[in-house]
Amino acid sequence: MIAPGTPVRVREDWPETRGRCHIRTPHFLRGATGRVDRHLGDFPNPEDLAFGRPAVRLPLYHVAFDASTLWADGKPEAELLVELYEPWLEVLP
């Protein structure tokens, strides 16, 4: 489990370039750095559910991002809160 406040990086991975997939990690967040806000619970992996495959339950987090780190014209006070599954997160030192 990743503790609240932990800095994380969203994996820079592009499954949509490798064939059929269903992913819930937005394009604009791949490779972005944020901070875990809180653990929301464990849920069956939608990437497997989308193909009718058996799905393991994965921890889902609210991760906070500073808009100014995502877009050049993003306002520093604007915070994005996005639901992301644990395999998409790399814990930063």
Of residues 4 through 63, those in contact with other proteins by CB under 8 A are: 14, 16-17, 20-22, 26-33, 46, 49-52
The reply on whether position 89 binds other proteins by CB under 8 A is: no
Residue (1 or 40) nearer to other proteins, CB = 40
Going 1 to 62 to 12 to 45, the CA torsion angle's sign is: positive
Task: Find the angle CA(66)-CA(71)-CA(77) to the nearest 5 degrees.
Answer: 35
Stretch that binds other proteins, among 34-42, 56-64, 68-76, 83-91 (CB under 8 A): 68-76
Residue (12 or 38) nearer to other proteins, CB = 12
Q: Would you list the DSSP string of 11-67? A: ----GGGSSS----S-GGGTT-EEEEEEEEEEEE-HHHHTTT----EEEEEEEEEEH
Query: Given the rule CB under 8 A, which residues bind other proteins?
Result: 14, 16-17, 20-22, 26-33, 46, 49-52, 69-72, 74
